[in-house]
Each structure stands twice: as structure tokens, then as C-alpha cells.
């Protein structure tokens, strides 16, 4: 029977993240021998939280607390060897996404990333930035798969304090040191991956309004008010983010990190509300995993109306948001 | 301090084009792929602009553009790109489709980079997009770096600052719209760029003329790359989801807001 290794790293706040537990549950459904490879400064709490789900192995030490390629790749390589894994699953965190392709290369294996479905040895993933969906399988081993968050139910950990695990040795050397994590924009955090709602602001917020003037400050107030009232995560169209590069007035809290679409992110939220955005294909491909979609736009013939949104409100977003913020207030 | 900056960049269909998958004896492909207008892969283009910027600030540095694509398509794309930044082209003739395997593409790219005359790996910076707009796997650059023996790698890079001692401060995108700040002692390194901070450079006829002297011979010398579709595809299709959009018009803003508030609260 093939050994399936699940790679998990420790996280601040929780021994193992939700995405990691989802991957573990997916691995258990594949029908092989499950092994769990843990990486972190101290893996005792993580081991305790997943005890009983499979054989436990860990690479631990201060050098492996930092998210960096050299040590993460070294740890993963050692765990793959120790487990004798044919299939290696990991959640698509930035940490694993950075290093696992290199580990697959070292192991003479193959890798598939952004996996959105895994069933009976066949995976589903998207090509051309979420425009074409494919399912495929491979004969080569080891086969590495990076699974997207939300792929299925999370493993319901029973927990066992003091769970025993096998310690695996890995090379700790690196020329890189992680200094810390910073938020790029000042003020409150606008990108919230766990939020129920994605609120997307398009370039229309910066255009002349009915009175013939641009109301950038008011737009900023309304958008931030919406985020505060609803707890939504803020996304943006490329055209709005790009305005700053072209010397136009911009909304000060937006950066390329907020960008959703062809050259931006493809976030996962249950609901999405687009405002002042035309809903053309390069933008909407970033909405692939937004289940319930609504849009507010003055153009009844915009892209959203052509089967891309569930509801299109043909209305002035300034007026709607003014009232909506009052209701959510 | 000077660097040899190798930028790996493929070409992809223009994002505004409609894409439709078809089945061929060689595996999945795009309908009329040879006819679709192409652009340099967007994130790789940012990497090229950042490479050009770095090379200008580090005298003695040189930028190489390594690209695996059908020669004729690559030539079309370079007519535009070659007017923006200076580089030496290393072309590989092969499919630019996203359905090939990053493992095979990395092998071809690494072999081409190894063959660069006078390559000094101690000064090598391997740039590229952190993901392509075709396969979007985020794997090819990292695997290429591994093949070249580079063990300091960064993905989703938005900024690179070179210190007076040759060390790098690098900011990578991580979860929650944040940046991971890392300090690296210096080259060699792999940097998979996200958007970076630089706008698209304006066209410069002088740069274009200078580049084209080397681009055309490089295209003529382009070696065939042994890249094929090796995965076993069960299906390749457009998403079927077409929503039945309810269009609400001639309704007061207050009424729209009321409906949206109910929807956001989960009651609608």
C-alpha cells in the first residue's frame, strides 16, 4: 500500500491550521498508509493535535521555526525520505508553496499545485488563471500535491497530549534569515482571507460622478465604512490599483495585494460584492471560487450581467453604499 | 558588485482573448493557439522590468531573457518587449502551452542557462514570475533554481533592496495581504516576482534597435526543447457555470441597500 505523507508546519495561534487539517482528512480518504510530517520549532503541540491520524514524524528546532526556503526544503526532503512516501500532500500555504516544487525536484518527483479537488487518485486544478478546468493523474512517484484551502472537511482531531513522534534530522543551514511579517499599507488590515464577504472596488470609484467632480475622499470613507460594518475583505480591480502607477489619485489603502483577477489573487469567500467594476473576463477569473456574487454598476450591459453575477443592481454605488453603511452601522 | 540576472519568461495568450481547450494527439491544447495574440507572461514581465532596474543600478550587470516558446510567436512578442528594456535573448523553440509539465520545462531552461558563455553562478540571480498565466503552478522557476544548485529562493517577491555589503532585503507576499521580510547574504538566489513596484517602462526605439541586433540571431539559433505533455489528462474543459443573472434596475438606492444588507447578514 502506498504511503501518503501529509506535510504540516506549526503556526502561531494554532498547532495546525485549518487548511492543514483539511489536507489530512483528504489524505485519509485516499486509502493508503498515512504519515504526518511536522516542521517547526517545537512540534509537541502539533503532534498532540493530530495524534491517531497516522504515523508521526517531525523535524524540529529553532532553525525550522522560520518560513524560509532552505530550511523548509531541507525538512520536507528529510521527511519524504524518512516516510518513504509515494504521495506527498500539503496545504497551499505560502511556506509550502515556496519550497515544495524544489523538494519535488530533489526527490526526482513531480508536483501539481493549486489542487482544488482530489478523488480516487485524480486531481482537479485550473489552467490559464481559472479559465480552464482539468483533471489529471500521474504515474510518477513521489507525487507532490499542494491542496487549496476549502478542499473538503477538516480532520476532527481527537487530540492526545504527549503523543510520541519520531524525530527526523535535516540540514539547518541557510544564508537567509526571516526578519518578520509586515502589513504593506498603513491603517487597518483590509485583506481578510477568513471573511465571509469579499468586497471589490473598481475604477469607477475614482471617476467623475453625477456632479461632474471626482469624490476620492468620500469614496475612501464609504469603502472603509463598508469594511468596518460588514467585516468584509477588500479586493480591487487591476485598473484601480494601476492608477497609482500612472500618477492618478488613488485610494490610499489599496495596493497590488488587493488585486483580484488575471494578475491578482483568486480568493475564497462565500459571497462577493463588486462595485464600480465592469466585470470583464480578466477580472472575473479571480472570482472563480466566490459562490454567491452580486454587483452594483451603472451599466446594465456590463460583464456581470452576462452570466457572471447572480444579481446585478443597476444603481449608483455612492448612493447605495451610503445607505448600506447606515444599515450595517 | 555586479550580477548576471537571468529572467525566465514565457508567453501567454492575451488575457482578453477567449480561450477554448481542444484535444490533440499531443495532448490538450488551446483552439487556434497559433493564431491567438500573445503577450509576455505578466508576472515574468514584472521580473524583467525589475531585472532591468537592478542592472542599471549595478554597473557591470547584465540581463539575459530566457524564453521557451514557438519561435514565430516569440518573435512577435519581442517586437514590443525589446523596445522596453535591454537584454540578451536565449530562445528555446517549443510549446508555450500551460498543459506541459513544469518538470520538463525546468530541465530545458536549466540546460539553456548552464550553456550561457561565461556564466558565473556566484553572481547569478534567477528571476521570473512567481506563477505564469498559463500553468500557474509556481513550480518551474523553483525547479530550475534547484537544477542550478541555488538553495536561496523567494516567491511572490514585491521588492528587492541590495545593501552596501551585497546582502538582500526581500519582501515576499504571504497570507492575509502581508509581506514576509527576509535578509539574504547575497547571490546566488532565485526570485519569483509578483507585481513588484515598477511601472511598465516606456518604449524606446534606441533600446529596440540595440536589442534586435541580438534578438534575431538568437531566434534563428533557438534549439528545439524536448517538452511534451506527459500527464494523463482525464478531462480539460471550460467551466460550465453560467449564472442566470437577475438584473435589478429602476429601484431606489435605499431599497438596493436594504436588500444587500439582508444578503450580507445571511437573511436573503
The ipTM, to two decimals, is 0.94
Cα distances (Å, whole numbers) of residue A290 to A150, A196, A204, A285, A294: 12, 10, 22, 10, 10
Give the mean pLDDT of A71-99: 98
Give the mean pLDDT of B71-100: 96
pLDDT by residue (tens digit) across B102-128? 999 999 999 999 999 999 999 999 999
Q: Which three cell numbers stand for residue A75?
A: 525538512
Give the mean pLDDT of A213-223: 92
Contact A313 B251 (CB under 8 A): yes
What is the per-residue pLDDT for A244?
Answer: 60
List all residues 6 or more positions away from A37 whose beta carbon is below 8 Å from its beta carbon: A5, A6, A7, A8, A57, A58, A59, A75, A76, A79, A80, A82, A83, A168
| C-alpha torsion sign, points B125, B129, B132, B133 | negative
Contact B174 A181 (CB under 8 A): yes
Give the mean pLDDT of A105-117: 97
The gap from C-alpha B7 to its chain's centroid, in whole angstroms, comes to 9
Report A:73-92 residues touching B (Cβ under 8 A): 73
Neighbouring C-beta atoms of residue B174, cutoff 10 Å: 19
Contact B253 A180 (CB under 8 A): no
Give the mean pLDDT of A141-158: 92
CATH H superfamily, domain A3-167? HUPs (3.40.50.620)
Give the mean pLDDT of A74-87: 98
Taking 60 as the threshold, does the pLDDT of residue A187 lie above it? no
Residue from A14, A97, A235 to probe the interface with B (highest B Cβ count within 10 Å): A97
Q: At what angle do helices B71-81 and B205-221 cross, to 10 degrees?
A: 160
Lowest mean pLDDT among A49-58, A164-173, B173-182, B234-243: B234-243
Taking 80 as the threshold, does the pLDDT of residue A243 lie above it? no
Chain A nearest-CA residue for B247: A312
Q: From its phi and psi, is residue A40 left (phi > 0), alpha (psi between -120 and 50) or beta?
A: left
Determine, yes or no, domain membership for B169. Answer: yes
Determine, yes or no, domain membership for B104. Answer: yes
Asked if residue B228 lies in contact with residue B100, where contact means CB atoms within 8 angstroms, the answer is yes
pLDDT by residue (tens digit) across A20-46? 999 999 999 998 999 999 999 999 999
- Higher-confidence position of B241 and A83: A83
Task: Confirm or reject contact between A161 and chain B (CB < 8 A).
Answer: no
Determine, yes or no, domain membership for B230. Answer: no
Contact B232 A309 (CB under 8 A): no
Which pairing describes strands A271-275 and A87-91: parallel, antiparallel, or unpaired?
unpaired
What is the per-residue pLDDT for A7?
Answer: 98
Give the mean pLDDT of A139-158: 93
What is the per-residue pLDDT for A242?
Answer: 73
Nearest to A132 among B19, B151, B186 (CB): B19
In DSSP terms, B27 is beta-bridged to B24
Give the mean pLDDT of A189-203: 90
What is the per-residue pLDDT for A61?
Answer: 96
Chain A nearest-CA residue for B250: A314
What is the per-residue pLDDT for B155?
Answer: 98
What is the per-residue pLDDT for A184?
Answer: 61
* Measured distance CA(A202)–CA(A200) in Å, rounded: 6
Taking 60 as the threshold, does the pLDDT of residue A186 lie above it? no
Give the mean pLDDT of A147-154: 93
Nearest to A94 among B98, B156, B258 (CB): B156
Multiple choice CATH, A197-328, 3.30.70.360, 3.40.50.150, 3.40.50.1220, 3.90.480.10: 3.40.50.1220
Lowest mean pLDDT among A263-272, B50-59, B142-151: A263-272
Q: Name the band, by pLDDT with cuts 50, 70 and 90, for residue B263.
A: very high
Contact A101 B142 (CB under 8 A): yes
- Higher-confidence position of A157 and A163: A163
What is the per-residue pLDDT for A249?
Answer: 62
Determine, yes or no, domain membership for B231. Answer: no
What is the per-residue pLDDT for A185?
Answer: 58
Contact A131 B260 (CB under 8 A): no
Same fold, A3-167 and A197-328: yes
Which pairing describes strands B189-193 and B153-162: parallel, antiparallel, or unpaired?
parallel
Nearest to B43 among A190, A263, A313 (CB): A263
Which residues of chain B are within 8 Å of residue A312 when distances are taken between CB atoms? 245-248
Lowest mean pLDDT among A208-212, A239-243, A263-267, B195-199: A239-243
Most confident of A149-153, A162-166, B124-128: B124-128
* Measured distance CA(A268)–CA(A85) in Å, rounded: 30
**Domain spans of chain A, in order of start:** 3-167, 197-328
Domain residues for the domain of B37 are 4-224
Q: Name the band, by pLDDT with cuts 50, 70 and 90, for residue A263.
A: confident
Taking 90 as the threshold, does the pLDDT of residue A235 lie above it? yes
Q: Name the band, by pLDDT with cuts 50, 70 and 90, for residue A261.
A: confident
Nearest to A257 among B135, B140, B177 (CB): B177
Which residues of chain A are within 8 Å of residue B101 when distances are taken between CB atoms? 110
Which residues of chain B are within 8 Å of residue A309 when distances are taken between CB atoms? 243, 245
**Distance in Å, alpha carbon of B173 to nearest chain A alpha carbon:** 8
Q: Name the band, by pLDDT with cuts 50, 70 and 90, for residue A252.
A: confident
List all residues 6 or more positions away from A170 whose beta carbon is below 8 Å from its beta carbon: A59, A64, A71, A74, A75, A77, A78, A79
Task: Confirm or reject contact between A269 and chain B (CB < 8 A).
Answer: no
Q: Which of A269, A286, A278, A276 is nearest to A304 (CA)?
A: A278
* Measured distance CA(B34)–CA(B46) in Å, rounded: 25
Cell 523567494 belongs to B154
What is the per-residue pLDDT for B177?
Answer: 85
List all residues 6 or more positions away from A41 whose beta carbon is below 8 Å from its beta carbon: A10, A60, A61, A62, A64, A65
Taking 70 as the threshold, does the pLDDT of residue A245 lie above it? no
Mean of pLDDT over chain A: 91
CATH number for the domain including B71?
3.40.50.620
Q: Which of A308, A320, A310 is nearest to A279 (CA)?
A: A308
Number of domains comprising chain B: 1
What is the per-residue pLDDT for A157?
Answer: 76
Q: At what angle do helices A94-106 and B102-114 cross, to 10 degrees?
A: 70
Q: Which of A179, A63, A69 is nearest to B181 (CA)?
A: A179
Residue A135 parent element (H or E): strand A132-137
* Measured distance CA(B138)–CA(B173) in Å, rounded: 13
Q: What percent of chain B has pLDDT over 90?
A: 90
Contact B236 A183 (CB under 8 A): no
List all residues 6 or more positions away from B186 whose beta carbon is below 8 Å from its beta carbon: A175, B165, B166, B167, B168
Determine, yes or no, domain membership for B138. Answer: yes
Which residues of chain A are within 8 Å of residue B257 when distances are taken between CB atoms? 320-324, 326-327
* Measured distance CA(B107)–CA(B101) in Å, rounded: 10
What is the per-residue pLDDT for A91?
Answer: 97
Determine, yes or no, domain membership for B94. Answer: yes
* Measured distance CA(A98)–CA(A96) in Å, rounded: 5
Lowest mean pLDDT among A174-178, A192-196, B119-123: A192-196
Mean of pLDDT over chain B: 95
Q: Which of B213, B225, B226, B216 is nearest to B92 (CA)?
A: B225
Determine, yes or no, domain membership for B235. Answer: no
Q: Which of B87, B119, B106 is nearest to B10 (CA)?
A: B106
What is the per-residue pLDDT for A193?
Answer: 85
Determine, yes or no, domain membership for B240. Answer: no
Amino acid at each position: 500500500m502506498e504511503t501518503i505523507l501529509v506535510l504540516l508546519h506549526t503556526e502561531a495561534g494554532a498547532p495546525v491550521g485549518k487548511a492543514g487539517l483539511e489536507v489530512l482528512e483528504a489524505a485519509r480518504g485516499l486509502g493508503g498508509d498515512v504519515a504526518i510530517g511536522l516542521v517547526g520549532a517545537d512540534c509537541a503541540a502539533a503532534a498532540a493535535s493530530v495524534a491517531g491520524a497516522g504515523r508521526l514524524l517531525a523535524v524540529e528546532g529553532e532553525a525550522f521555526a522560520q518560513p524560509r526556503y532552505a530550511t523548509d526544503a531541507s525538512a520536507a526532503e528529510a521527511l519524504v525520505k524518512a516516510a518513504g512516501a509515494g504521495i506527498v500532500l500539503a496545504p497551499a500555504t505560502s511556506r509550502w508553496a515556496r519550497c515544495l516544487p524544489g523538494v519535488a525536484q530533489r526527490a526526482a518527483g513531480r508536483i501539481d499545485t493549486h489542487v482544488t479537488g482530489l478523488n480516487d487518485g485524480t486531481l482537479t486544478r485550473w489552467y490559464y488563471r481559472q479559465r480552464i478546468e482539468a483533471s489529471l493523474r500521474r504515474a510518477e512517484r513521489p507525487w507532490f500535491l499542494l491542496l487549496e484551502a476549502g478542499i473538503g472537511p477538516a480532520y476532527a482531531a481527537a487530540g492526545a497530549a504527549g503523543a510520541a513522534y519520531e524525530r527526523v534530522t535535516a540540514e539547518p543551514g541557510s544564508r537567509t534569515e526571516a526578519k518578520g511579517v509586515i502589513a504593506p499599507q498603513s491603517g487597518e488590515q483590509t485583506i481578510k482571507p477568513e471573511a465571509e464577504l469579499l468586497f471589490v472596488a473598481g475604477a469607477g470609484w475614482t471617476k467623475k460622478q453625477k456632479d461632474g467632480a471626482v469624490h476620492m475622499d468620500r469614496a475612501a470613507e464609504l469603502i472603509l465604512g463598508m469594511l468596518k460594518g460588514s467585516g468584509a475583505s477588500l479586493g480591487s480591480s487591476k485598473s484601480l490599483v494601476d492608477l497609482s502607477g500612472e500618477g492618478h489619485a488613488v485610494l490610499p489603502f489599496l495596493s497590488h495585494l488587493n488585486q483580484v483577477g488575471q494578475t491578482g489573487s483568486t480568493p475564497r469567500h462565500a459571497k462577493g460584492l463588486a462595485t464600480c467594476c465592469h466585470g470583464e473576463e480578466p477580472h472575473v477569473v479571480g472570482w472563480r471560487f466566490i459562490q454567491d456574487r452580486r454587483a452594483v454598476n451603472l451599466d446594465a450591459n456590463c460583464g456581470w450581467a452576462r452570466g457572471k453575477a447572480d444579481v446585478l443592481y443597476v444603481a449608483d454605488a455612492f448612493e447605495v453604499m451610503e445607505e448600506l453603511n447606515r444599515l450595517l452601522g | 558588485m555586479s550580477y548576471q540576472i537571468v529572467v525566465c519568461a514565457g508567453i501567454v495568450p492575451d488575457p482578453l482573448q477567449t480561450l477554448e481547450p481542444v484535444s490533440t494527439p499531443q495532448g490538450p491544447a488551446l483552439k487556434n493557439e497559433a493564431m491567438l495574440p500573445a503577450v509576455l507572461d505578466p508576472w515574468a514581465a514584472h521580473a524583467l522590468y525589475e531585472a532591468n532596474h537592478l542592472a542599471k543600478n549595478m554597473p557591470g550587470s547584465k540581463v539575459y531573457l530566457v524564453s521557451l516558446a514557438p519561435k514565430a510567436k516569440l518573435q512577435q512578442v519581442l517586437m514590443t518587449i525589446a523596445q522596453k528594456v535591454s537584454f540578451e535573448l536565449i530562445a528555446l523553440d517549443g510549446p508555450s502551452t500551460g498543459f506541459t509539465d513544469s518538470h520538463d520545462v525546468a530541465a530545458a531552461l536549466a540546460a539553456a542557462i548552464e550553456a550561457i558563455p561565461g556564466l558565473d553562478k556566484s553572481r547569478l540571480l534567477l528571476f521570473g514570475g512567481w506563477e505564469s498565466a498559463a500553468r500557474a503552478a509556481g513550480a518551474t522557476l523553483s525547479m530550475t533554481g534547484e537544477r542550478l544548485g541555488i538553495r536561496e529562493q523567494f516567491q511572490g517577491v514585491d521588492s528587492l533592496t541590495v545593501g552596501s555589503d551585497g546582502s538582500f532585503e526581500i519582501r515576499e507576499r504571504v497570507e492575509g495581504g502581508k509581506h514576509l521580510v527576509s535578509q539574504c547574504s547575497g547571490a546566488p538566489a532565485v526570485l519569483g516576482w509578483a507585481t513588484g513596484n515598477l511601472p511598465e517602462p516606456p518604449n524606446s526605439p534606441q533600446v529596440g534597435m540595440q536589442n534586435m541586433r541580438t534578438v534575431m540571431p538568437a531566434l534563428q539559433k533557438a534549439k528545439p526543447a524536448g517538452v511534451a505533455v506527459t500527464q494523463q489528462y482525464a478531462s480539460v474543459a471550460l467551466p460550465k457555470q453560467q449564472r442566470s443573472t437577475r438584473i435589478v434596475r429602476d429601484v431606489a438606492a435605499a431599497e438596493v441597500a436594504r436588500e444587500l444588507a439582508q444578503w450580507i447578514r445571511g437573511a436573503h
